[in-house]
């Protein structure tokens, strides 16, 4: 149904629909596919690139942590500090205060003033004593917060552990995020535990390691331990909390897409070497494609402008095509009603202009053909009237009937019967045959009947011969083209007291032509008259009726039907006779030149 409606719609609508089908829709689909492919390519590249950056960042963080792990080793080179840590008790508080000052001063000099800004504080818990040094005031890390035997019984087996912010009450002024590194101090000479050292490390070193991942897209980056506790997060309030989606994340070194955050997110992850820590990088695909979407939006805007401009241009072009065609259709309707006084202006030289030119030429040609057909009809009627007048001419009829009467008196029944049959056949040929062209065989039969009647009248004064060399019964010729020529030959031959001999020959000419020759032995035509006669064949065929009207009529009808290359040509020599040649196309169509 849609195709039928489209097929029957206006040309302008078809052109616009075609424009959208071939231009707007393919470009839109191509742009959509290209955009999707491009976004997938970016997503794939980012999904491969970010885990590598995370891996490098993890290595840097791990290296930094290894440096922090080695910080307590410097204590073993401080003999005074080791001696203090070996003491189990004091006789008085002054000795305790002196040792605290000694150890605290060492911690400040060794750690606080070493130029490492990431260290917030150092604490040593040893045999119910607490030695401290920090860069800022703190709370939640007093001796009463720990059991009395904490420093003696904590066996870390040489490992370094990290206490997360939510695992202790320690807090510094300004609430900077940090982790607390914890390591056992051992007396390797006595194989005893001296205590536990705690180093509070600011998380800025993680931020610095992740700097390569911070771009214009502002991703979310966080670190967790094996239990999903967040060690570091770009949002500080998330540090120390439990990642609720940690169990759902695949433990892979790579990237995956998720919609857990109410939109499409690309999450990349990487596991720390030699640690059960994981780093994560999350970015919304919308942010990742921000620049791409800006380009997309700009492209869409340009495309819409292009569609609008091209649509306007297409409408103008379609109107320039359809409007002349609509005007042509209106003019054709006028032509259908018989109004040939129409003209389509030619303002262009394109196909529409050529169509207008062809239409105007066609109308002119149709009008010309109508006039020609009208003239042919007139000539045909003239020829029929002429032939009929010749046959019912009082002299011809009287002479023919008189001849029949003589034959009756002489009781020549056979002659009477034959002449009556010939006369009847001639009249039927003239009255009954309404066609413009007839088979050549019928036309030859008609002229043979006419000559036979004349031969009965004038006996041995007329002799004729019809010689058909072609012998093709399928050729068609205009009706009544031979009788006027034969009548002229008999008339002028008998007037000059000649024994008239008429010869009709049919032969084939070059270029598919049919030639009919009518030769007589009459007195001939003067050269001036002959030239005037042949010239009159080429002049206006609608000339006055004169003594040459029969020949002119024949020539005009042939020229109108078949063209100016066909018609009559007369050759004559005084005292030797005249030859009239009729040139016709070898036409095997019943419609003649109208096919």
Supply 261's token pair: 């955050």
pLDDT for the residue 540: 60
Q: Residues of the chain with pLDDT > 70: what percent?
A: 85
Read off the pLDDT of each residue in 80-87 and give the average, rounded to a whole number. 90
Read off the pLDDT of each residue in 64-69 and give the average, rounded to a whole number. 88
Give yes or no for a contact between 78 and 190, defined as CB atoms under 8 angstroms apart.
no
Per residue in 279-296, pLDDT tens?
A: 998 888 777 777 777 777
Q: Quick check: 273 pLDDT over 50?
A: yes
Q: Name the DSSP class of 9.
A: S
Pairing mode, if any, of strands 500-509 and 462-468?
parallel
* 300, 302, 303, 306: CA torsion to nearest 10: 160
**Mean pLDDT, the chain, integer:** 81
Q: What is the pTM of this model?
A: 0.51
Q: Quick check: 87 pLDDT over 70?
A: yes
Listed in order, strand segments (DSSP E) in 203-252 are: 220-224, 230-233
Per residue in 98-128, pLDDT tens?
A: 999 999 999 999 888 877 888 999 999 888 8
pLDDT for the residue 394: 61
Starting at the edge strand found earlier in the chain, the sheet holding 119-126 runs: 129-134, 119-126, 192-202, 178-187, 160-163
Continuous H helices in 474-544: 483-495, 527-538
Confidence of residue 153 (pLDDT cuts 50, 70, 90): very low
pLDDT for the residue 391: 47
The CATH architecture that domain 367-594 belongs to is 2-Layer Sandwich (3.30)
Burial label, 430 (beta-carbon count in 10 A; 0-12, 13-18, 19+)? buried
pLDDT for the residue 545: 47
Spatial CA neighbour of 260 closest among 230, 275, 280, 277: 280
Per residue in 363-389, pLDDT tens?
A: 777 777 777 777 767 666 665 555 545
Contacts 24+ apart (CB under 8 A), 442-447: 443/477, 443/479, 443/480, 443/481, 443/482, 444/468, 444/482, 444/504, 444/506, 446/482, 446/483, 447/482, 447/483, 447/486, 447/504
Q: Is the dihedral of CA 125, 129, 133, 136 positive or negative?
A: positive
Q: Quick check: 147 pLDDT over 60?
A: no
Looking at per-residue pLDDT, the higher value among 213 and 153 belongs to 213
Name the phi and psi angles at 173, rounded to 5: -60, 135
C-alpha to C-alpha distance for 441 and 303, rounded to whole angstroms: 77
Spatial CA neighbour of 69 closest among 6, 162, 136, 152: 162
Per residue in 505-552, pLDDT tens?
A: 998 888 888 999 999 998 999 999 888 888 888 776 544 445 566 788
Q: Name the DSSP class of 546.
A: -
Supply 429's token pair: 């040929």
Confidence of residue 157 (pLDDT cuts 50, 70, 90): low
Pairing mode, if any, of strands 500-509 and 230-233?
unpaired
Name the phi and psi angles at 408, rounded to 5: -65, -45
Q: Is the dihedral of CA 251, 252, 256, 261 positive or negative?
A: positive
Residue that the structure tokens 């819409």 belong to: 304
Q: Quick check: 213 pLDDT over 50?
A: yes
Q: Quick check: 151 pLDDT over 50?
A: no
Burial label, 79 (beta-carbon count in 10 A; 0-12, 13-18, 19+)? exposed
pLDDT for the residue 169: 83
Looking at per-residue pLDDT, the higher value among 243 and 344 belongs to 243
pLDDT for the residue 323: 72
Give whole-number Cα distances, 496 to 265, 461, 543, 577, 594, in Å: 122, 12, 28, 12, 42
C-alpha to C-alpha distance for 138 and 170, rounded to whole angstroms: 7
Looking at per-residue pLDDT, the higher value among 237 and 260 belongs to 237
pLDDT for the residue 386: 56
The DSSP annotation for 133-158 comes to EESS-EES--GGGS-TTHHHH---TT
CA-atom Rg of the chain in angstroms: 62
CATH 3.30.565.10 placement within the chain? 367-594
Most confident of the ranges 192-196, 280-284, 431-435, 504-508? 504-508
Read off the pLDDT of each residue in 12-22 and give the average, rounded to a whole number. 72
Read off the pLDDT of each residue in 194-201 and give the average, rounded to a whole number. 90
Q: Residues of the chain with pLDDT > 90: what percent?
A: 15
Looking at per-residue pLDDT, the higher value among 261 and 581 belongs to 581
C-alpha to C-alpha distance for 100 and 102, rounded to whole angstroms: 5
Q: Is the dihedral of CA 437, 438, 443, 446 positive or negative?
A: negative
Burial label, 130 (beta-carbon count in 10 A; 0-12, 13-18, 19+)? buried
Give yes or no for a contact between 269 and 278, defined as CB atoms under 8 angstroms apart.
yes
Give whole-number Cα distances, 186 to 125, 190, 193, 506, in Å: 12, 9, 4, 143
Residue that the structure tokens 């012998």 belong to: 471
Q: Quick check: 216 pLDDT over 80?
A: no
Per residue in 468-477, pLDDT tens?
A: 777 667 788 9
pLDDT for the residue 148: 39
Residue that the structure tokens 């705690």 belong to: 198
Looking at per-residue pLDDT, the higher value among 402 and 15 belongs to 402
């Amino acid at each position: 149904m849609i195709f039928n409606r489209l097929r029957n719609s206006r040309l302008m609508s078809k052109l616009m629909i075609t424009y959208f089908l071939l231009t707007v829709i393919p470009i839109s689909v191509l742009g959509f596919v290209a955009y999707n492919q491009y976004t997938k390519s970016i997503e794939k590249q980012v999904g491969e690139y970010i885990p590598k950056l995370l891996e490098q960042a993890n290595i840097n963080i791990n290296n930094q942590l290894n440096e922090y792990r080695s910080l307590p080793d410097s204590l073993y080179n401080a003999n005074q500090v080791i001696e203090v840590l070996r003491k189990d008790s004091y006789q008085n508080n002054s000795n305790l205060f002196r040792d605290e000052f000694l150890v605290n001063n060492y911690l400040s000099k060794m750690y606080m003033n070493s130029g490492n800004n990431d260290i917030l504080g150092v604490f040593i818990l040893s045999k119910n004593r607490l030695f401290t040094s920090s860069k800022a005031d703190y709370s939640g890390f007093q001796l009463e917060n720990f059991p009395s035997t904490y420093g003696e019984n904590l066996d870390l087996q040489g490992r370094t552990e990290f206490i997360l912010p939510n695992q202790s009450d320690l807090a510094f002024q300004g609430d900077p995020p940090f982790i607390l590194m914890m390591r056992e101090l051992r007396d390797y000479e006595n194989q005893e535990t001296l205590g536990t050292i705690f180093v509070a490390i600011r998380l800025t070193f993680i931020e610095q390691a992740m700097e390569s991942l911070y771009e214009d897209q502002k991703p979310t980056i966080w670190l967790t331990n094996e239990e999903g506790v967040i060690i570091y997060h770009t949002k500080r309030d998330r540090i120390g909390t439990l990642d609720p989606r940690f169990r759902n994340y695949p433990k892979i070194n790579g990237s995956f897409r998720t919609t857990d955050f109410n939109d499409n997110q690309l999450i990349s992850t990487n596991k720390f070497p030699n640690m059960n820590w994981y780093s994560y990088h999350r970015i919304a695909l919308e942010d990742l494609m921000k620049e791409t979407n800006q380009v997309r939006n700009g492209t869409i805007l340009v495309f819409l402008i292009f569609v609008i401009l091209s649509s306007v241009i297409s409408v103008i072009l379609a109107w320039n095509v359809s409007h002349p065609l609509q005007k042509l259709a209106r003019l054709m309707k006028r032509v259908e009603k018989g109004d040939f006084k129409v003209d389509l202006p030619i303002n262009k030289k394109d196909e529409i202009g050529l169509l207008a030119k062809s239409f105007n030429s066609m109308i002119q040609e149709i009008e010309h053909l109508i006039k020609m057909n009208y003239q042919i009809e007139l000539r045909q009627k003239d020829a029929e009237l002429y032939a009929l007048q010749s046959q019912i001419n009082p002299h011809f009829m009287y002479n023919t009937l008189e001849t029949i009467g003589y034959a009756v008196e002489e009781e020549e029944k056979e002659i009477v019967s034959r002449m009556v049959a010939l006369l009847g056949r001639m009249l039927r040929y003239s009255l009954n045959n309404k066609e413009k062209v007839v088979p050549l065989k019928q036309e030859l039969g008609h002229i043979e009947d006419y000559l036979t009647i004349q031969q009965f009248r004038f006996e041995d004064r007329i002799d004729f011969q019809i010689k058909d060399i072609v012998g093709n019964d399928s050729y068609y010729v205009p009706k009544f083209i031979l009788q006027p020529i034969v009548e002229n030959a008999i008339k002028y031959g008998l007037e000059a007291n000649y024994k008239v001999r008429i010869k009709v020959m049919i032969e084939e000419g070059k270029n598919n032509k049919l030639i009919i020759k009518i030769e007589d032995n009459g007195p001939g035509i003067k050269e001036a008259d002959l030239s005037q006669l042949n010239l009159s064949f080429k002049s206006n065929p609608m000339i006055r009726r004169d003594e040459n009207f029969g020949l002119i009529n024949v020539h005009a009808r042939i020229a109108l039907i078949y063209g100016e290359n066909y018609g009559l040509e007369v050759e004559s020599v005084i005292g030797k006779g005249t030859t009239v040649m009729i040139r016709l196309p070898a036409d095997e169509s019943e419609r003649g030149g109208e096919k």
